[in-house]
Amino acid sequence: MPVLITSTKDRTMLNISKTGALDFLSLGALVHRLDTGIIPFRKATKCDIHVSGGEFNVAANLSDCFKLNTGIASAMVNYPVGDLIAERVRAMGVKPFYKQFKHDGVTGPNMATVYSDQGLGVRAPVVFYNRCNEAAAQLKKGDFDWKSIMAGGVRWFHSGGIFAALSSTTPDLIIEGMQAAKAAGAIVSFDLNFRAKLWQISGGLETAQATLRRICENVDVVVGNEEDLQKGLGLKGQDVETKGKLDPAAFFGMMDDVVKQLPNVKGVATTLREVHTTNKHDWSAVCWLEGKTYQAPTCELGVYDRVGGGDGYAAGFIYGLLTGRPPEEAIRLGWAHGALLTTFPGDTTMATVDQVEAFAKGGSARIQR
């Protein structure tokens, strides 16, 4: 039986199934991030290795922190880097559904590498990539048996714009997965995650917008800020004056165009962040759900590692909706979890659901005894 999430006007928001072997299923690329901490990469002599991927991060957060049953459909290569990544997927409690690739010992195919340092104070973080001969970019329609994967039921399906930009075949795979999820009764979400550099080598802005709009025709909930909506989908907002990066006026001003251009979309959610220094941010979040707008409080973050904060927000927000919370509670759970995630190293959560619930209700950083 579905649970109806309603607004204060009792308008149906999302028809979310109460049961399913998988609460949440992601489709996307798995990557590993080599992070040198506060030392600039070009001067580093050692690094930490974090396993990541926007879609995986949400699944991992929902599993590890919020104790939901989650899965990831992705590419996996049979070499030591693949083994490392697969071990971390298991450790986070995420059920894998892999298309296996054989490494040739020299050129690949490979699991993508992200290189980063965290920056400090006035020095911003630096992130760059090597996605050469990436296995995930070779994924295509027909690579996954969706009927088998979803046989026990799936409640929520998620993918993202970075995976869509990897090749000419990944967008059709995303749509195939979304349509299978819809047929299985799942809610479908998509994180626009517009990255100009990726789309430059995948056909440019025109191709990006055409591709992302085609994908979003199958989507219930979009994750993305006003820049993602404008550049990724070609939507136009109202000419509004904003008071800063924490002012949601520009974001909310675009919702009329979302309704007009993508009438299937029932919700749009994003974080708001004003960066004062690398380690001091002001943090908030907003969402629009079928004509109603919601905003989380603003808090000051002491940031340890900002990577993954947005995925942390998405996970908490989705958790709230999957557990039948009203939108104002769901957005606070996302806001709280995203904030906590920036206090940990790596891309995925180390928070507990009790910590998230406490912070969402106005908890403080006083010592817990």
Question: Has residue 6 been placed in a domain?
Answer: no
> What pLDDT is recorded for position 169?
98
Bridge partners of 71? 25, 95
> How many domains are there within the chain?
1
In whole angstroms, what is the distance from residue 220 CA to residue 101 CA?
32
Which range of residues forms the domain containing residue 208?
Answer: 19-360
Question: Has residue 8 been placed in a domain?
Answer: no
- Give the tokens for residue 137: 């970019």
Q: Residue 11 above 60 pLDDT?
A: no
Q: Residue 8 above 80 pLDDT?
A: no
pLDDT per position as a tens digit, 47-106: 999 999 999 999 999 999 999 999 999 999 999 999 999 999 999 999 999 999 999 999
- On whether the CB atoms of residues 232 and 208 are closer than 8 A, the answer is yes
Q: Residue 366 above 80 pLDDT?
A: no
Average per-residue pLDDT for the chain: 92
Instruction: Give the β-pairing of 292-295 and 280-289.
Output: antiparallel
**Cα dihedral sign for 15, 18, 21, 25?**
positive
pLDDT confidence band for 242 (50 / 70 / 90): low
Question: Has residue 5 been placed in a domain?
Answer: no
In whole angstroms, what is the distance from residue 227 CA to residue 192 CA?
10
3-state secondary structure of 354: helix
**C-alpha distances in Å from residue 265, one per residue of 222, 262, 305:** 7, 6, 32
> What pLDDT is recorded for position 2?
38
Q: What is the pTM of this model?
A: 0.93
- Domain of 155, CATH number, reads 3.40.1190.20
pLDDT per position as a tens digit, 145-196: 999 999 999 999 999 999 999 999 999 999 999 999 999 999 999 999 999 9
Classify residue 274 by its DSSP letter: E
- Which residue's structure tokens are 């004056």? 241
Residue type, 49: I
Question: Has residue 2 been placed in a domain?
Answer: no
Q: Residue 5 above 90 pLDDT?
A: no
Question: Has residue 9 been placed in a domain?
Answer: no
pLDDT per position as a tens digit, 202-232: 889 999 999 999 999 999 999 999 899 999 9
DSSP structure string for 61-129: HHHHTT---EEEEEEEESSHHHHHHHHHHHHTTPEEEEEEE---SSS--B-EEEEEE--BTTBPPEEEE
- Give the tokens for residue 149: 């994967």
> What pLDDT is recorded for position 241?
64
Question: Has residue 229 been placed in a domain?
Answer: yes
> What pLDDT is recorded for position 363?
63
Question: Has residue 282 been placed in a domain?
Answer: yes
> What pLDDT is recorded for position 9?
39
Question: Has residue 335 been placed in a domain?
Answer: yes
